[in-house]
Amino acid sequence: MTTIKFMPQGINVEATTGASVLELAQKAGVGIRAECGGRGVCGSCRVMVEPLESFSPPSAREIEMLGDDLDKGWRLACHTKVLSAGTVIIPLATRPEQVIVLEESYGNLDITLKPAVRQLFLHVPEPTLDNPRADGERFLQTFKSHTKKLTNLEHDILMRLPNIIREEKGQVTATVWQERKILDLKSGYHELILGIAVDLGTTTMVVYLFNIRSGQLLGRASQLNPQTAYGSDVMTRIHYTSNTKGGSTQMRATVVRGLNQLISEVCDKAQVSTDNVVEVVLVGNTAMHHLCLGLDSRHLALAPYPPVWAEPLDLPAAAIGMAVHPAANLHLLPNKAGFVGADSMAVLLALEPYLQDELQLIIDFGTNGEIILANSQHQWACSTAAGPAFEGAQIRFGMRAQNGAIDKVEFIPESQEIRWETIGGEPPIGICGSGIIAVVAALRKAGILHDGGRFNSRINNDRLRHGAEGMEYVLAWPEETALGEAIVVTQGDVRQVQLGKAALAAGCRILLERAQAKQPDVVLMAGAFGSYIDPEAAKTIGLIPALTPEKIKVVGNAAGHGACLSLLNVDKRKEIALLAPKVDYIELSGESRFSEEFISSTALVPWGK
């Protein structure tokens, strides 16, 4: 008896002399791949051993398959027998399917790693005079134990095949997409394959970089969607493409250039090459989906708003100009409708309301607000033009959420004061989206605003004054701000908040009516912006139902999370492809009850009051 240590797990195993490394690993529960069942055919159980003399001499098969690598300590676990104490190192590629955990998000966190792309290390036999089979045939034969779906080779692979299979004595690494297409073929052993998940928002785009063989998140990066140069909202951009020759191409090139910058940045930081990025999964609303692919988005702006394509889509990433591996696949999740897009489907995947019995109301706050009401029985979705107020636009002192923006506002009953904080603690220069909701809620609590949204002119408060556009409330005095002038909330600002709030609340109510439910069991606030809204303030002004605090959850960038899940596990793509057609889409512009609900939702009062 002797002892073998398995690395990197650090597990010590008692071993009988003569036992194979593979048997030993299997007995000890150390994960090791053996796709041919230990027959020495597939090469998937490649491990490194030390010292060499603690293990049996290489078999003829190992000499054929591993060649010079034997000297470096590489062996086939199935053909290597233990002679005395030693160490076995199991490289990443030899470890079986792994479960990985995504951080910083709510919802489906554990995921089994099952990417669309995998690598196979193969040994292609030489031709013989008796059986001078074609290079392609001998090569495809080696795949037979892995997949029978692969029967054809693309022209560019065929052009390189003869050299590749001869360069390292028949040893090749094939990068295979969905078991049926070879994306890349290299001689020798390789193991780095990367994937990119993209959440393409109207305003912001976020890129996640993964090692899709290990599931490890290698980095993330975000920036403003450069299409904002053509208009901050979707409609302006659609009109631009309709009215400009080559507008669709220009819009596509603009966003892809931005994505390429982000991908390059995140790869540089992780010290990997963009050429190893073999798959990209992208989610975005339907307009972003179309504008990124260069599809004609014009009809998204005209009733009945049909998308060009709603099914899941696979295309070469190179077709839209993405600077990744030239054969990389780009996958897009399905769009449900013109204004409920792949991003909402990704939110569904991330939060999985369709696996729950409780009725979840999911609001994805953005320039457009997408609303999902769902449980395991039924799923409804709609979209409302929540308006620009929630992003700080069309607000007198509105701004994006960056340093110097007032983002938190609170009414202190004891002192009857309204207190604020800024991002970064700097002197204020404006109010961001979460701040404007908070200040309206605080003004309501202080009794400074009526239910209907008018300022209460009878109240005695030195901050309430007449301004150029009517009544206004001084949130910060000139000497407190970085502007040298006062930051005020105008009657017009309050109206903007009311419009946005009414649209979202009316959408929620229509969905609840469809579900014949008075209240959801849970409210989930999603989206980068949704993560900053104070749930209490949102309840105060009736933006969301008045549930108890533990029933209201902030879930972060669920769309981006859903994109990551789809990148790491191909079954998730099937799941949402099956679910999407079942989601009940409500087109609010075709809904007679919408105007009524909208008007009755303008009041700044909690739900049910």
Residue 73 gets the label, from left (phi > 0), alpha (psi -120 to 50) or beta, of left
Q: Which residue bears the tokens 């009051």?
A: 609
Q: Give the HSE-up count for residue 583: Cα atoms under 13 Å, Cβ half-sphere.
A: 33
In the complex, least distance from residue 237 CB atom to a second copy, rounded to whole angstroms? 16
- For helices 570-579 and 558-568, angle between their N-to-C axes, nearest 10 degrees: 120
Strand partners, 152: none
Q: Judged by CB, which is closer to a second copy: 166, or 551?
A: 166
Shortest separation between residue 536's beta carbon and a second copy, angstroms: 38
CB of 366 to a second copy, least distance (A): 21
Least gap, CB of 546 to a second copy (angstroms): 33
Nearer to a second copy, 294 or 428 (CB): 294
| Cα 391 versus chain centre, distance | 21
Spell out the residues 6+ positions from residue 407 whose beta carbon is closer than 8 angstroms to its own: 401, 421, 422, 423, 432, 434, 435, 438, 532
For a second copy, the closer of residues 51 and 162 by Cβ is: 162
Backbone angles phi, psi at 95, to 5 degrees: -85, 140
> Which chain residues interact with a second copy by CB under 8 A?
127-130, 132-138, 151-156, 158-159, 161-163, 248, 293-296, 298-299, 303-311, 313-316, 319-320, 335, 337-338, 587, 589-590
CB-wise, 19 or 301, nearer to a second copy? 301
Cβ atoms of residues 133 and 30 within 8 Å: no
The whole-angstrom separation of Cα 17 and Cα 71 is 22
Minimum Å gap between C-beta 9 and a second copy is 43
Looking at the Cβ atoms of 43 and 294, the one nearer to a second copy is 294
Judged by beta carbon, residue 320 or residue 568, the one nearer a second copy is 320
Q: How far is the CB of 12 from a second copy (least distance, A)?
A: 48
Closer of 122 and 526 to a second copy (Cβ): 122
Q: How many CA atoms lie within 13 A of 76 on its CB side?
A: 26
Nearest CB to a second copy, comparing residues 134 and 224: 134
246: left (phi over 0), alpha (psi -120 to 50) or beta: left
- CB 109 to a second copy: min, Å: 32
117: Cβ–Cβ under 8 A, 6 or more apart, which residues?
175, 176, 177, 178, 183, 193, 195, 212, 278, 279, 329
Q: How far is the CB of 116 from a second copy (least distance, A)?
A: 15
If the CB atoms of residues 150 and 533 are measured against a second copy, the closer one turns out to be 150
Q: Of 309, 304, 261, 305, which Cα lies nearest the Cα of 289?
A: 309
* Residue 116, amino acid: A
| Residue placing its CB nearer to a second copy in the complex, 37 or 304 | 304
Grouping H, G, I as helix, E, B as strand and the rest as coil, residue 604 is coil
Q: Could you tell me the smallest distance in angstroms from the CB atom of residue 305 to a second copy?
A: 6
Alpha-carbon distance 17 to 27, whole Å? 15
Judge whether 146 and 42 are in contact, CB under 8 Å.
Answer: yes
Exposure string over 474-507, b if 16+ CB within 10 A, otherwise e: bbbeeeebeeeebbbbbbebbebbbbbbbbbbbb
Distance in Å, CB of 64 to a second copy, minimum: 18
- Structure tokens that stand for 232 in this block: 């901050």
State in angstroms the smallest separation of the CB of 210 from a second copy.
Answer: 25
Secondary structure class of 347 (helix, strand, coil):
helix
- C-beta of 133 vs 269, nearer to a second copy: 133
Helices vs. strands in the chain: H and E counts, helices first: 14, 28
